[in-house]
Amino acid sequence: MVVTDRVLMGPGPCNPYPEATAGLTRPMLGHLDPEFLALLDETCENLRTVWGTANALTLPVSGTGSAGMEAAFVNTVGPGDVVVVGVNGLFGERMCDVAGRCGAEVVRVDAPWGQPLDPEAVLSAHPAPKVIALVHAETSTGVRNDVAAVAAGKGDALVLADCVTSLGGIPVAIDDWDVDLAYSGTQKCLGVSPGLAPFTLGPRAWERRIPTPQSWYLDLGMIGAYTSGTARKYHHTAPIAMITSLHAALGALLDEGLQGSWDRHAECGAALQDGLEKLGFELWAAAGYRLPQLTTVLVPDGVDDAAVRRALLTRYGIEIGGGVGPWAGKVWRIGCMGHTARLRNVTLLLAALSETLSR
């Protein structure tokens, strides 16, 4: 088959860091090999640094970000548990679906897509929820929700945060914010192929976890007995190549420094958003809550959404994303994440988009 390469400026996957790609081809090791276990330990330790946490149970779940979401809910939510979910995009909607399948009584707190959640509304939605869940960086809208404000007012509830599109791209501080559990994905600002869900769960969530979750595969008690502790009790065969790739990418990220990665994402996002406004586009996400790593604009009146995206893909090899749900056809989602977050890609996209619209 033909092999094409792309500049991946959609909502994920991004272009992986060269180190991440090289990490995929490291010679295969067994999942109980002492060398692999050392590499896994180092991966988990570097994940703690990236999450800003000392949580012992910090590890890559063996599935994509959505598996991380499911792991978060099945390990903390059982039948009849009240879960408040902030919903201002597709991934908040998904949380309601996943929590419902755990038997939760779901209390939704909606905000319009493109606008941030109101932390006060989320906190006052129910007097005693077991879990308050929200998305930090809504990949469907490009909006940042204020996780820190929600966690600060959580009272006795557990706070569960979706950090799929935030981790590595904007500040995430699990321990400083007092977030109880969170998950991410490898294919966004961590610059790795999709396939793993970095995960962290703190002591309060551990104490209140579901002892036998409905999912065997995502049972964090069993997974933790393999990834940490001394017994290294076999649960399932770890996805070796993906973990060696994540290990390599985290090494590159920490060599650059977390602050350096945040700064680079911020610089690219600002240049992109500024450039798009200069081209006459209207930014969609609310001012003050715009993600630098994922920019959303309204498709201008009279412009054919699909035709423009197809032209960018076929003429320039650039992928950008369309809108989803009620916003399909109405917005574009332009990612600048991981290795894609380079000024050269911003400059290229702005020029290619300008050319395409003037053809």
The residue ranges that bind its own copies (CB under 8 A) are 1-6, 8, 10, 12-16, 21, 24-33, 35, 38-39, 42, 62-67, 69-70, 94, 97-98, 101-102, 185, 187, 193-195, 212-217, 234-242, 245, 313, 319, 324
Select 36 or 51, whichever has its Cβ closest to its own copies.
36
Select 151 or 324, whichever has its Cβ closest to its own copies.
324
Select 26 or 204, whichever has its Cβ closest to its own copies.
26
In whole angstroms, how close is the CB of 218 to its own copies at the nearest point? 8
Select 101 or 278, whichever has its Cβ closest to its own copies.
101
Among residues 64, 63, 22, 42, the alpha carbon closest in space to that of 245 is found at 22
In whole angstroms, how close is the CB of 312 to its own copies at the nearest point? 12
In whole angstroms, how close is the CB of 214 to its own copies at the nearest point? 5
In whole angstroms, how close is the CB of 24 to its own copies at the nearest point? 4
The alpha carbon of residue 238 and the mean position of all alpha carbons in its chain are separated, in whole angstroms, by: 21
Residue 192 amino acid letter: V
Select 130 or 247, whichever has its Cβ closest to its own copies.
247
Select 69 or 158, whichever has its Cβ closest to its own copies.
69
Paired residues of 61 in beta bridges = 197
Both tokens assigned to 20: 């991440």
Contact 131, 157 (CB under 8 A): yes
Between CA 193 and CA 13, with CA 201 as vertex, the angle to 5 degrees is 15
Q: What is the DSSP letter of 26?
A: S
In whole angstroms, how close is the CB of 258 to its own copies at the nearest point? 21
In whole angstroms, how close is the CB of 273 to its own copies at the nearest point? 22
Which residue in this structure is represented by tokens 């959609």? 10
- In whole angstroms, give the CA distance from residue 42 to residue 48: 10
In whole angstroms, how close is the CB of 155 to its own copies at the nearest point? 28
Both tokens assigned to 280: 């006459």
Contact 96, 106 (CB under 8 A): yes
Select 151 or 190, whichever has its Cβ closest to its own copies.
190
Q: What is the dihedral of CA 323, 325, 329, 332, to 10 degrees?
A: -10
Contact 346, 272 (CB under 8 A): yes
